[in-house]
Structure 1
Amino acid sequence: MALCTALAEELARSGVRLAVISPGSRSTPLALALFREEAIETEVALDERSASFFALGAAQATGSPVALVCTSGTAAANFHPAIAEADLSAIPLIVLTADRPPELREIGAGQTIDQIKLYGDSVRWFAEVGSHEADDAGLLHFRSLACRAYATATGDPRPGPVHLNFPLRDPLAPVGEPDAVTASRRLALEGRRDGPLTVVEKPTCGADRPTVNRLVAMIQGAERILILAGRQTDTSIREPLARLANACSAPVLAEPTSQFRLGPHDRGAVITAYERIARRRESSLAPDLLIRLGEFPTSKQLRLWMAETDPAQTVIDPGYGWYEPVRTADLIVRCDVAALLHQIENTAEQRVEGPAGNRFWNAWMEAEKRERREIESSWTREGKLDAGEVHARLAGLQSDGGLIYTASSLAIRDQEESIPALDADVRFLANRGANGIDGLLASGLGAARATGGDTTIITGDLGFFHDVGSLALARNVEGRVRIVVLNNEGGGIFERLPQREEMDADEFEALMRTPAGLEVEKAATLYGLPFHRAPDLDALQAAFEADADAVSVIEVPVSG
């Protein structure tokens, strides 16, 4: 226990504030140490997959590492999907798996699998901790491990998951602990009282001066500048991006998870209907310089169009991955995005004509108005609601400071195409690294738990039932959380794919659309959650405003 206690102390001193624990015998020392550490709050989740996505959502919402604990065997394997998402989305997780000691491996001992480098290249760092005595060397080793795990998970340039594997021997309960500690050095026994044993400083940096000058020259030499704002997890780019866009007369194609489409900043440059605009392939809207911030937006048509027009292209990214799906970038700058935007702003001269006098800017603004009118006029008031209108209404209803967590597949695409630029100070999150539908409820609940803010989770019916067991985690969350289920009776996204026309109707229904045939209300009732069905916008608003301090489920039947 003393070794695990030292580890927990250092994790807390480094900045870990939440640990998600799945119960088990082999992990007792780890679980107890974290549970007893006053600076770390703990949540217990029976299902390891739910636990891992809960931790993922909490870490994504806060940007701070969350510790994740499980026992040996397949329990650890259930963490893998969330770890894959954390890897691709650069989300910091500290994964602590208990394991059988070496003498119990490969001999048929129960609950034993090969956990060495279990997650492969999906983790930034793996350590097989080994067996140690609670002497000076052992305690300092565990303290140092914790500091390194935290520093690597939050690392520069690429945060992400780390994995420490602990082969633990009996006795697993804290029996005879005082006699087991032989350390004498105060540093080993207590660590540093004013902070962690080792601190790794990671200053926020922009680009070097030659790179900034090169970017400024590209901007000043271009006539038709377009900015694509991809996924960001915080709102730090809002003000500098708004100023740069206006100074450069550059429309900003902002997906919701860029955190730029909505907010109290100047949104005059925001373009929301770029999927529809891209389909038209209007030559007057083609840029000669494309500046991308982070990942490419979800829109497939936009990616295809930009590949066809082949403008000069610069990608500004913190270094989280090779976000180059069209493979045409001239320059990739890896640095803090907001810091570089400030550098460009401070170096570049404002254009004399400004946005109002720029034909390219005006053409984009006219296209945006035209397509917004068409989008909103397509929302029928007859029969089931249109999913796009539901997304737009939910964004308008969400309170300032709130959070919307959206499922992959059809939900994120409908959201991207439908939400207008609004002044609501709302953040949008999604699991868009691996793009799976798994773990969405757990992720959203984890984000709500970590932030304590007003949260809306949006999913389709298949995503809801895929992760329905995570509703058990609702008991861990305080405050108002709404789980909005857009029920189109199956995998509606497949209706947009070629398989819809190329497969036999019965085969398509059985293999692709796969309606669940289950009732959302019964699932909510099973977990003791308030339930509302919202067949129209008035009912949606009433359900949205109900249950002020509870996790509730709102089913919205939608077309498509």
Structure 2
Amino acid sequence: MDATNRNTALASAMVEELARCGVRRALLSPGSRSTPLALALWRQPAIEVEVVLDERDAAFGALGSALATGVSAVVLCTSGSAAGHFHPAVIEADEASVPLIVLTADRPPELRGVGAGQTIDQLKLYGDAVRWFCEVGTHEADDDGLLHFRSVACRAYAAAAGDPRPGPVHLNVSWREPLAPIPVEGAVTATDRLALEGRGERPLSAVARGPEAPDPLLLDELAERIASAPRGLVLAGRQPDAGLAEPVCALAEAAGYPLLAEPTSQLRWPHAYEGSVPGYDLIARSRPADLEPELVLRVGELPTSKALRRWLGAVPGLRQIVIDPVGEWKEPTRRAESIVRADPRLLAAGLAARLKAGAEARRAATAGDGDRSWRQLWVDAQHSMGSSLAELLADRDELSEPGIWPALAGVLRDGDQVLAASSMPVRDQESFLPPGRARVRFLSNRGANGIDGLIATAAGASLGADARTWAVLGDLAFAHDIGGLALAARAPKLRLLVLDNGGGGIFHFLPQAEALPAEEFEALLGTPSGLDPLAAASLFGLSAARVRSPAELAAALAGEARVIVVPLDRRRNLELHRELAEAAASALSAA
């Protein structure tokens, strides 16, 4: 603990506890009022610190680190409007259940509401978006004050980690002068060793948690319901736990169900389950009657595919079971008959064991013509459709947004991360990324589904996990977070794949594209930025390349360029998606 003065003692006590709890990364933006905490973080050997000029990018960088590692990162700013720039990342952390510790420095109470400079009302600034808010207050460096700062840090870490739901916490910390580490005789009056030193390498207070095991009677009931519905599906949407793949695949195998997993479920890569059906979005567009399920078991959030949601919503009498481990109630269909709160790993493993023990005959249940299993119907549909689409894309020697994903899949390796931007990239990833064998983590900012802060998020994810990270984003998302390139320049394992289609490509798929005159559509929704991504990359010292053909793209992906720009056409992209949907429908009808 730094006993130079009252502020250094309190700040270093708080940071000591954060480090002992497990914090390993902090991003801070410069400012005077935050000096005590900034110095404490900078001098803490267990915590890596990045100084980021733009508070919004600092917050998204911290979010990215936590998103990739599952461990809270810290973001710090000075008083005033600086704290407001954290809000978008706080919203995303809330909606996506990502642990994040937000520290805002503040003026002491006597300087609030009296016209003092750089002073706003920071109390509960982020409203209900945080799991816990604490006005830490001004304290002396006595026993009570030091224990308070230590205890608050431990509670903040526990609240962010999830009790029960992970997310952001906000600590508003007031500081009186001196803000600099100026020696003050007798400023530290604490005598209690626990207040002065804490518990050594252990945090002052640690929250112990155990998995929420499902009730055996519940397992019996759910297993019976699954066994009585041979035409079922396992849906896997966005969720962070890569360890869920084995028990969920075992459950799907035991039930005889196809697995429809979007990449951010962490269940599509590595591909291990022969009943995996990655092309479900295009299958759902055709609404094949012979593939209509009678029961859906969902893990994670609802998959991104709107076609899948609409199709399942139209299936009469469809029963849905949603695994909801922390009570978030993420059930927008409003049709689930059971929302099960239990540890997903334990629940899936328990159900698989029960089904496997007594369901050999049930797994052989057939549908349709009586000689092909239900799961095989889906697998055959996937194979027929997938082959047709692969041929269609291969026959066109042109760059395309759907074609990006097979190309990227070819260079992914164990330990890589992929962050797909909201809007078209995450949807095309869901539809066109083939299964693979490498252990890859798929990330997204799909809590609030914004395109803001994506470069900073990807940079934070790469730094936090120390992993090669591919960020796939459109030119508007790139332009929106151009300041994030400053942080990207410090993340040497980050690669940015910029799909430069000259504006908002997704809007061509919406009714506005046909309802609005072309000039109005382009001005209000197409919104070409005119930004040259190569010039922007050069401004921040990032190597960049523009590719013109699939061969050049393959070479660039295998090369060293940090920013790869892929010129594309929005209108041609709409046409190609329609061609692919028609080809999929034809393949399915012929299967």
TM-score, with length taken from structure 2? 0.91
- Per-residue deviation at 1:440? 0.5
Farther-moved stretch of structure 1 (158-167 vs 216-225): 216-225
Instruction: Please show how residues 38-117 of structure 1 align to structure 2 within 5 Å.
Output: 38-117=45-124
Corresponding letter in the other structure for 1:543: A
Q: Determine which of 29, 34, 45 is the counterpart of 2:36.
A: 29
Q: Determine which of 266, 278, 297 is the counterpart of 1:272.
A: 278
Q: Determine which of 205, 212, 229 is the counterpart of 1:198.
A: 205
3-state SS of paired residue (2:115): coil
Are 1:298 and 2:312 matched, yes or no? no
Structure 1 CA distance for aligned equivalents of residues 395 and 52 of structure 2: 42
For residues 84-120 of structure 1, the C-alpha deviation after alignment (integer angstroms, 9 at most, x for no partner) is: 0000111000111001111211222211111110000
Task: Tell whether the 8 Å contact from 2:30 to 2:77 is kept in structure 1 after alignment.
Answer: yes
Structure 2 CA distance for aligned equivalents of residues 332 and 44 of structure 1: 43
3-state SS of paired residue (2:296): strand
Match of 1:515 in 2: 528
Task: Tell whether the 8 Å contact from 1:355 to 1:362 is kept in structure 2 after alignment.
Answer: no
3-state SS of paired residue (1:240): helix
3-state SS of paired residue (1:173): coil
Match of 2:369 in 1: none
3-state SS of paired residue (2:199): coil
Instruction: Please show how residues 349-388 of structure 1 align to structure 2 within 5 Å.
Output: 349=357, 351-353=359-361, 358=366, 359-379=373-393, 382=396, 384-388=398-402
Instruction: Please show how residues 319-338 of structure 1 align to structure 2 within 5 Å.
Output: 319=326, 321-338=328-345
Match of 1:541 in 2: 554
Q: Determine which of 424, 431, 446 is the counterpart of 1:410.
A: 424
- Per-residue deviation at 1:380? 6.4
Structure 1 CA distance for aligned equivalents of residues 540 and 361 of structure 2: 60
Structure 2 CA distance for aligned equivalents of residues 17 and 122 of structure 1: 23
Structure 2 CA distance for aligned equivalents of residues 215 and 405 of structure 1: 35
Corresponding letter in the other structure for 2:465: T
Corresponding letter in the other structure for 2:511: P
- Per-residue deviation at 1:373? 2.7
- Per-residue deviation at 1:355? 5.9
C-alpha distance 177-345 of structure 1, shift in aligned 2 (>3 A): farther
Match of 1:558 in 2: 568
Match of 1:456 in 2: 470
- Per-residue deviation at 1:5? 0.6
Farther-moved stretch of structure 1 (404-413 vs 319-328): 319-328
Structure 2 CA distance for aligned equivalents of residues 227 and 406 of structure 1: 23
Task: Tell whether the 8 Å contact from 1:84 to 1:122 is kept in structure 2 after alignment.
Answer: yes
Task: Tell whether the 8 Å contact from 2:97 to 2:167 is kept in structure 1 after alignment.
Answer: yes
Q: Determine which of 445, 465, 468 is the counterpart of 2:482.
A: 468
Are 1:134 and 2:106 matched, yes or no? no
Root-mean-square deviation (Å): 1.5
Task: Tell whether the 8 Å contact from 1:99 to 1:166 is kept in structure 2 after alignment.
Answer: yes
- Per-residue deviation at 1:419? 0.9
Structure 1, unmatched stretches of 5+, are none
For residues 439-458 of structure 1, the C-alpha deviation after alignment (integer angstroms, 9 at most, x for no partner) is: 11000010000111111111
Structure 1 CA distance for aligned equivalents of residues 325 and 566 of structure 2: 38
Structure 1 CA distance for aligned equivalents of residues 28 and 218 of structure 2: 45
Farther-moved stretch of structure 1 (425-434 vs 393-402): 393-402
3-state SS of paired residue (1:153): helix
Match of 2:261 in 1: 254
Match of 1:496 in 2: 509
C-alpha distance 443-294 of structure 1, shift in aligned 2 (>3 A): same
Match of 2:544 in 1: 531
C-alpha distance 216-134 of structure 1, shift in aligned 2 (>3 A): same
Are 1:399 and 2:413 matched, yes or no? yes
Q: Determine which of 150, 169, 172 is the counterpart of 1:165.
A: 172
Corresponding letter in the other structure for 2:473: T
Instruction: Please show how residues 333-344 of structure 1 align to structure 2 within 5 Å.
Output: 333-344=340-351
For residues 199-225 of structure 1, the C-alpha deviation after alignment (integer angstroms, 9 at most, x for no partner) is: 100112331222212211111111211
Structure 1 CA distance for aligned equivalents of residues 503 and 397 of structure 2: 18
- Per-residue deviation at 1:516? 0.9
Q: Determine which of 237, 240, 248 is the counterpart of 1:241.
A: 248
Task: Tell whether the 8 Å contact from 2:227 to 2:362 is kept in structure 1 after alignment.
Answer: no
For residues 236-259 of structure 1, the C-alpha deviation after alignment (integer angstroms, 9 at most, x for no partner) is: 111112221111110011101011
Structure 2, unmatched stretches of 5+, are 1-7, 367-372, 574-591
Corresponding letter in the other structure for 1:69: L
Match of 1:3 in 2: 10
Structure 1 CA distance for aligned equivalents of residues 402 and 314 of structure 2: 28
For residues 338-379 of structure 1, the C-alpha deviation after alignment (integer angstroms, 9 at most, x for no partner) is: 221112122223532576764321221122122213332342
Match of 2:582 in 1: none
- Per-residue deviation at 1:40? 1.1
Instruction: Please show how residues 118-133 of structure 1 align to structure 2 within 5 Å.
Output: 118-133=125-140
Structure 2 CA distance for aligned equivalents of residues 382 and 177 of structure 1: 73
TM-score, with length taken from structure 1? 0.96
Structure 2 CA distance for aligned equivalents of residues 416 and 328 of structure 1: 23
C-alpha distance 204-502 of structure 1, shift in aligned 2 (>3 A): same
